[in-house]
Structure 1
Amino acid sequence: MAETAALSGVVVRYPGRAPIGPVDFNVAPGEIVAVVGASGAGKSTLLRLLAGLERPAEGTTSTRPGRVGFVFQTPTLMPWADALANVALPLELAGTPRAEARARAADALAAVGLGERLTARPHQLSGGMAMRVSLARALVTEPDLLLLDEPFAALDSVTRRRLIEDLHRLWASRAPRPSIVFVTHDVEEAVYLAGQTLVLDAATGRVTMALATPGALPRPEGWRAEAGYREAVERLAAELARSMATAGTGS
């Protein structure tokens, strides 16, 4: 298949709630896709389907053979281990010799700006630093598909912006570039980060809008002040508000 990953006619059922779907969308090689929607719309479910952690009741999921990285809403680091050991873990579990795994982990931590904090344990790191460790752990395996589930939601706006810039830089440095699916509640974050943003309906989880963002990735300095950025943000915000009001979840 041409896509890195795709969902076709996917329906997910949970007890006590209406079905999610059907959902149809695909992720092209090297594409960054953001997904926005109200709480409960199925954003995290979509990522679990792409990762193969969940199966749909109907429809099909397909992911091109390759490595998948997953960054969760919280860093989920081993509290007893230092940053280097946390990042090396997926390599060591895959059978990479310890010395090689630690060397690659050190490189990954340096890439996210933590080259001087290799021996720090999670309790010694700020929230932003801990999320950088989690990002390094996902990137150390050089994934073909990177899934991020609201990883910056608990961080302050300055730290979030820095991490998005880092993510763009790391994505652009890979050849070939990985595909990224990024879940967020923040439409401004979505437009800045992604080349395309999907809006999920609050009631059904269906894709109600797929909006391509103008301009190239990574973003040039000052891009947030451009008219194309503001227009895309307002269009997404209006569609998200419409979805939430229709489902009775609006304010």
Structure 2
Amino acid sequence: MAEIIAALEGVVVRYPDRAPIGPLDLSLAQGDIVALVGPSGAGKSTALRLLAGLETPSEGHVRTTSPGRTAFVFQSPTLMPWADARANVALPLELAGVPEAEARERAAAALTSVGLGASLASRPRQLSGGMAMRASLARAVVTEPDLLLLDEPFAALDSVTRRRLIEDLHRLWADRSPRPAIVFVTHDVEEAVYLAQRTVVLSGSDGRVTRARPTPGSIPRPADWRADPACHTAVETLAADLAAAMPEAAA
């Protein structure tokens, strides 16, 4: 049985101007790839912030076996505009005390692994949206995290670029030993089914887990997997789960 990397146990988050989120329970084993879906306001991004230690629960517990071994990819690339791609990716290593020469070498290798080996000296303004997100992904994986959190990182990209980035993510995950746990927030049910081993649906009313479904097939996906009837069935089933999770007023 795979080691548990992190968990939310009976977590509740209270805000002054809205109903509380939770209680939320989520367990992540080593090598898990989990997609979080749910209506806006269901607490998907909150769950990521809790797992990253960026937010403290009002009730319940956040468990992690590897403090400091978590990486976060946000909705926008958040690259330093004055630094080139290699310096941006090397930053978390340098902050952790890795010598500059080693950090830059590892950053170059990470950028090459996501197809940016020819863009090491490029500034963010010289990168397309997809290239900038690849650089952000390289910056996250260069630290070899045990837990990788992604908050709708591909939402602003075209569908072809999004698919290629998911394939890159699958390849990076498959090449690591031990493999990291990944939690990916998305509003796109097809993206969730293609990306994840299982999808967790959060209620739009209170952020509780309403459904957790495994996805058929192996990861990385074969080239023709989207044409598989099992894929179509999984997408339609998840779409129905998401519709059922909508608050009554929005349904």
- Aligning the two structures, in what range does the TM-score lie when normalised by the shorter sequence? over 0.9
Q: 1:140 corresponds to which letter in structure 2?
A: V
Give the aligned partner of residue 203 of structure 1: 205
CA distance in 2, matches of 1:65, 1:168: 22
CA RMSD of aligned residues (A): 1.0
1:11 counterpart residue number: 12
Q: How does 1:140-179 map to 2 (within 5 A)?
A: 140-179=142-181
Q: Given the alignment of the two structures, is residue 212 of structure 1 paired with residue 214 of structure 2, yes or no?
A: yes
**Number of aligned residues:** 249
Read off the aligned partner of 2:58 and give its amino acid letter. A
Q: Secondary structure at the residue paired with 2:15?
A: coil
Corresponding residue to 2:189 among 187, 190, 193: 187
CA distance in 2, matches of 1:236, 1:107: 37
Using structure 1 for the length normalisation, give the TM-score.
Answer: 0.97
Partner of 1:49: 50
CA contact (8 A) 1:202 1:247 kept: no
Residue among 92, 95, 98 paired with 2:94: 92
Displacement of 1:73:
0.3
Q: Which amino acid aligns with 1:68?
A: T
Q: Deviations over 1:194-222 (max 9, x none)?
A: 00000000111011000001111111111
- Structure 2: runs of 5 or more not aligned: none
- 1:36 corresponds in structure 2 to 37
In the TM superposition, what is the alpha-carbon distance from 1:232 to its structure 2 partner? 1.0
- Secondary structure of 1:165's counterpart equals helix
Which segments of structure 1 move beyond 2 Å, counting only runs of 4 or more? none
The residue that corresponds to 2:63 in the other structure is 62
1:145-170, Cα deviation, whole Å (9 max, x unpaired)? 00000000000000000000000011
Q: Output the CA distance in 1 between the equivalents of 2:169 and 2:33.
A: 11
Shift of 1:249: 2.3
What are structure 1's unaligned runs of at least 5 residues? Answer: none
Q: CA deviation at 1:2?
A: 3.4
Counterpart residue number, 2:225: 223
Q: Deviations over 1:2-56 (max 9, x none)?
A: 3111111100011110000000110111010000011111000000000111111
Structure 2 partner of 1:127: 129
Q: Report the 3-state secondary structure (helix = DSSP H, G, I; strand = E; otherwise coil) of the residue aligned with 2:19.
A: coil
Give the partner amino acid of 1:207.
V
Q: Structure 1 counterpart of 2:4, which letter?
A: E
Would the aligned equivalents of 1:11 and 1:58 in 2 still touch at CA under 8 Å? yes
Find the aligned partners of 1:122 and 1:107 in 2 and give their Cα distance. 18
Q: Secondary structure at the match of 2:164?
A: helix
Output one character per residue of 1:216-236: Cα deviation in whole Å (capped at 9) or x when no partner.
111111111111111111111
- Per the TM alignment, residue 247 of structure 1 is displaced from its structure 2 partner at its CA by 3.6
- SS of match in other structure, 1:13: strand
Per-residue deviation, residues 170-195 of structure 1 (Å, max 9, x unmatched): 10000111110000000100001100
Tell me the amino acid that sits aligned with residue 127 of structure 1: G
Rounded to whole Å, the distance in 1 between the matches of 2:140 and 2:66 is: 17
Correspondence 1:107 to 2:113 = no
